[in-house]
Structure 1
Amino acid sequence: MNHDDLPLWRLNLLRAFYLLVTLGLALSFGPLMLQHSDLWAQRKGETAALLSGLAILCLWGLRYPLQMLPLLIFELVWKTIWLLAIALPLWLGGAMTPAVEETAFACLLGIVLTPLVLPWRHIAQHYFAKPAQRWR
């Protein structure tokens, strides 16, 4: 299956999702990247920089929705890991804070929506069934 095999509505759905990710991350982290304290930079700077970079790269998904699929797969994977490794233990221990709850909701929303948008047959054919590139 090549990109011509996916219907245009599917490509446009991917484009809309890239835009949603970009806008969501830009609104969440853009202002923080411009106005922050040294303490914030030490504790949250890496996360904000990483997710701001992801937002910028998602803009390429508007032009190349299939070639940038690894970004959406990354979104799904990191949010799942965060929910299982960070939020779940805090929730089970009764130690959830409002900030963690807010992040958990955003991540949960992402792991519900992302699988609905991803073209799984295309991913299976191009990332799992396709022969690997040569090593030498």
Structure 2
Amino acid sequence: MNEVSLVRLYMLRAVYLIIAVGLGLVIWPGVIHHDKPWSLMGGVVNCMLAAFGVLCALGVRYPLQMLPVLLWELTWKVIWALVVALPAWRSGTLDEGTTEILVQCLVVVIIPIAMPWGYVFKKYLRQSGDRWSSAQKA
């Protein structure tokens, strides 16, 4: 029985590929060839984005197994938009830097379109979690 259609798997692969190639072109050259030290947060952000790109490349091969990576990306961007960008916009203090990040975050719209939500709910919300102790039920 196929839980996720082949079309949906290819949609997921396309999302992973877009992210992996995009980050590969934008982030990895700076990771490999940065001529001056990064700031603390600049280094954290660039290394996290580099790792995310690598994990998305792995998602091209294993689209369902790597779904938590896409869920993480979707979740942090939605939280950031609601907690940072929306209040700034509502108060009239949305500056150029925040607007630029918001526009970059809007690319996340491709994730919910490709996400196999039925599979996500079944696998991550309805399925029993892993056991918490070594004792097994009789």
TM range (shorter): 0.7 to 0.9
Q: What displacement does 1:93 show?
A: 3.6
TM-score, structure 2 normalization: 0.84
Q: Is the contact between residue 3 and residue 119 of structure 2 (CA under 8 Å) also seen in structure 1?
A: no
Task: Show the counterpart of 1:125.
Answer: 122
Structure number with larger C-alpha Rg: 2
* Letter matched to residue 132 of structure 2: W
TM-score, normalised to structure 1, is: 0.85
The residue number in structure 2 matching 1:85 is: 83
Residue type of the alignment partner of 2:87: P
After superposition, what is the alpha-carbon deviation per residue over 1:21-44, rounded to whole angstroms, capped at 9, x for unaligned? 112222332233232543x43232
- Which residue of 10, 13, 19 corresponds with 2:11? 13
The CA deviation string for residues 50-96 of structure 1, in whole angstroms up to 9 with x for no partner, is 11101101111111100000011011001111212222233234333
Aligned partner of 2:136 in structure 1 is: none
Note the 1:1-136 alignment, pairs <5 A: 4-33=2-31, 34-35=33-34, 37-38=36-37, 40-110=38-108, 112-136=109-133
**Could you say what secondary structure the match of 1:123 adopts?**
helix
Q: Residue 13 of structure 2 contacts residue 59 of structure 2 at CA under 8 Å; is this kept in 1?
A: yes
- Displacement after TM superposition at 1:17 (Å): 0.4
Q: Is the 8 A contact 1:83 1:108 kept in 2?
A: no
Unaligned runs of 5+ in 2: 134-138
Contact 1:29 1:48 in 2 (8 A): yes
**Length, aligned pairs only:** 132
In the aligned structure 2, how far is the partner of 1:53 from the partner of 1:129?
29
Query: CA separation in 1, counterparts of 2:8 and 2:56?
Result: 16
Identity of aligned residues (%): 37
Q: Which has the higher helix share?
A: 1
